[in-house]
Amino acid sequence: MVTEVFVMCDGANDSHGKLNVLGAFDMIVAHEFPFIHPHCTLAVRLRHDATENPEIRVRFIIQGASGEPNLASIDTTVKHFATDNPTSASNIIVNMNSLRFEKPGDYAVILQVDGLPVAITPLYVRSAQTGSVH
């Protein structure tokens, strides 16, 4: 299995197997903290080999800055179906509402498959007043 796409974005949809991503980002700027981000989406596209297990366990973790507790942990099962091609793809779209950030910092979004981390992307949360993490 290969992770082809793993991004935080404003929105995404699956149209007949095509993953459409709108507004990919890695930074959120807030005027005050704590801050609640109203809506964002994780968009993922996984490429599966025809010989792989057709069902995988997927977990998304938004890890807090500086050892804080995780902001979110989302578990799901993904089934992919064999085709006449040597590989197949599955799109995963996770909509998240009201993510609460207590303070600015460097966060991590982690994708685990069957209990193992397979992709990590940063999420930088900054203060509009200072532009820094302090």
Q: Who wins on pLDDT, 37 or 130? A: 37
Q: Which one has a higher pLDDT value, 105 or 82?
A: 105
Q: Is 45 exposed, middle or buried (0-12, 13-18, 19+ CB in 10 A)?
A: buried
Kindly indicate the confidence band of residue 133, based on its pLDDT and cuts at 50, 70 and 90: low
Mind listing the pLDDT tens digit for each residue in 109-129? 999 999 999 999 999 999 998
For the ranges 18-27, 61-70, 82-91, which has the lowest average pLDDT? 61-70
pLDDT at 134: 44
The structural domains of the chain, with segments of one domain joined by +, span: 2-127
Residue 113 neighbours by CB distance under 10 Å = 16
According to CATH, the topology of domain 2-127 is Immunoglobulin-like (2.60.40)
pLDDT in the model for residue 52: 85
Q: Is the pTM of this model over 0.85?
A: yes
Is residue 35 within 8 A of residue 29, CB to CB? The reply is no
Question: pLDDT value at position 67?
Answer: 67
- pLDDT for 131 equals 54
Residue 54 has pLDDT above 90, yes or no: no
With bands split at pLDDT 50, 70 and 90, how would you rate the model's confidence at 132?
low
Q: Note whether 123 and 78 are within 8 A (CB).
A: no
The arithmetic mean of pLDDT across residues 73-94, rounded, is 91
Measured distance CA(9)–CA(41) in Å, rounded: 5
Closest residue by Cα to residue 43 from 109, 101, 105, 100: 109
